[in-house]
Homo-oligomer: A and B are copies of this chain.
Amino acid sequence: MELTTAEENYLKAIYHLSEEGKKSVSTNDIATQIQTKPASVSDMLRKLGEKEVIQYRKYYGLQITALGMQLALQTIRKHRLWEVFLVDKLHFAWDEVHEVAEQLEHIQSPLLIERLDAYLNYPKFDPHGDPIPDAYGDVRTRPRCALNEMDIDQIGQIVAVKDSSAAFLRYLDKVGAYIGARIKVLDKVEFDGSIEILVDQKKTLFMSKDVASNILVLQS
């Protein structure tokens, strides 16, 4: 089964929106995510339904199929492996990789991905801390919670970000937070939910609840 680049992008968007725990994925949501019009989405949903990567009944809703899931995970795998390559080998900043990886993920060559995976030493997480599915689509997730949900004096390690917009990533870079940083909660302000943390046992950081809720931590 072969998908076009556009189909792959739609399927990936559907997968991501499905994962967000929403009851069902709406045409409008997809349109927003992919930056297109609802009319185009309707059309594509019909096509994806025919290709049996989603189950689709018009006006009703959609559900991704096992086949669709597998294909989406392969695309995500490629995207994240390329992100690792760009950051680890070509020294891209983690907020510069998305657009390029968005293109690279559509390169068709199983051998290339196999070799790339080996070359990068079979990474399990991308630079944003998101898990990289293996060749069979299996994902190794880490149990994690939002930074603002941690208690005072708790210790952990930043493992991912929810919002990976360039602006947010640049902000994190600027204040010295990064994936892998060891942190400790020093104080929490009840009033506005803001938080004070210690990074790598040396740097103190204040952040709003808004920022903290977008940082995911592996507790220890």
**Residues in chain A within 8 A of chain B (CB atoms):** 86, 89-92, 96, 99-100, 103-104, 107-109, 111-112, 115-116, 119
Copy number of this protein in the oligomer? 2
Bound-state CA distance A92–B116 (Å) is 11
Residue of B nearest to A108 (CB): B103
**10 closest A-B pairs (Cβ-Cβ)?**
A90-B115, A100-B109, A103-B107, A100-B112, A90-B119, A89-B119, A104-B107, A90-B116, A103-B108, A91-B115
Contacts of A103 in B (CB 8 A): 107-109
Contacts of A104 in B (CB 8 A): 104, 107
Bound-state CA distance A115–B91 (Å) is 8
- Cβ of A92 and Cβ of B107 under 8 Å apart? no
A118 to chain B, nearest CB (A): 8
A29 to chain B, nearest CB (A): 28
Bound-state CA distance A112–B86 (Å) is 8
A84 to chain B, nearest CB (A): 14
Contacts of A89 in B (CB 8 A): 119
Bound-state CA distance A29–B36 (Å) is 39
Contacts of A92 in B (CB 8 A): 111, 115
Bound-state CA distance A89–B90 (Å) is 13
A109 to chain B, nearest CB (A): 5
Bound-state CA distance A103–B111 (Å) is 14
Bound-state CA distance A116–B92 (Å) is 11
Residue of B nearest to A104 (CB): B107
Contacts of A115 in B (CB 8 A): 90-92
- Cβ of A109 and Cβ of B99 under 8 Å apart? yes
